Amino acid sequence: MWSICAADRLFTKIFISPHKLNREVFESVSQHPVLQKCVRELEYDGVYFSPRMTLSEYFSALVIQTGNTIWVSSATRLPMDNPDPQLGPFIEYASSLRYSRPGDHPIRLREEEFCTTSTFLQDGYQDYLSQASFQSQCHQDTKFLETFSNGLKDLRHLCTVSINDG
């Protein structure tokens, strides 16, 4: 009984997309007799994972994204210390790019070193490719659409559906 009362306050929004975790959560929540009543908002996550992205392109995108996050963090004075022996040097490297001159291309300076020695980077890239493959498969078969349409029928308290293109 207490779980039913508490569940109402846990969340109101869930995501759906051809991404493994989003699809699994959507399916689980929409099939659960208590949790499906919590959902008021559904957001389609349109982030695209390219199966053709190279390790070099992945590295560059990660450096830029990390550099931007570090810049925002340093502007708001959030701590970015990380004791991980692989992630620490990567964060330091990405943050140094934020202060380089616009004409420079410092990403290329240590790219080969990081791409060949960092298991953190290689594991992340393999996860990215796995997600790209899963996403491609979802577009080819009908399982994703079946999950989506069946789940929508069960989300009776749903008020808003939105699309986020990433």
How many independent structural domains does the chain possess?
2
Does 66 lie in the same domain as 10? no
Whole-model pTM over 0.75: no
Q: Strands of 160-164's sheet, edge to edge?
A: 13-16, 41-45, 160-164
**pLDDT < 50 positions in the chain:** 71-79, 99, 106-109
Does 148 lie in the same domain as 130? no
- Position 47 scores a pLDDT of 86
- Position 55 scores a pLDDT of 87
Does 111 lie in the same domain as 74? yes
Does 147 lie in the same domain as 85? no
Does 127 lie in the same domain as 146? no
Expressed as residue numbers, the domain containing 21 is 2-49+142-164
Does 130 lie in the same domain as 72? yes
Annotate 13-63 with DSSP letters as a single string: EEEESSSHHHHHHHHHHHHSTTGGGT--EEEEE-----TT--HHHHHHHHH
Does 73 lie in the same domain as 39? no
Does 148 lie in the same domain as 128? no
- Position 59 scores a pLDDT of 81
Does 152 lie in the same domain as 121? no
- Position 42 scores a pLDDT of 95
- Position 77 scores a pLDDT of 44
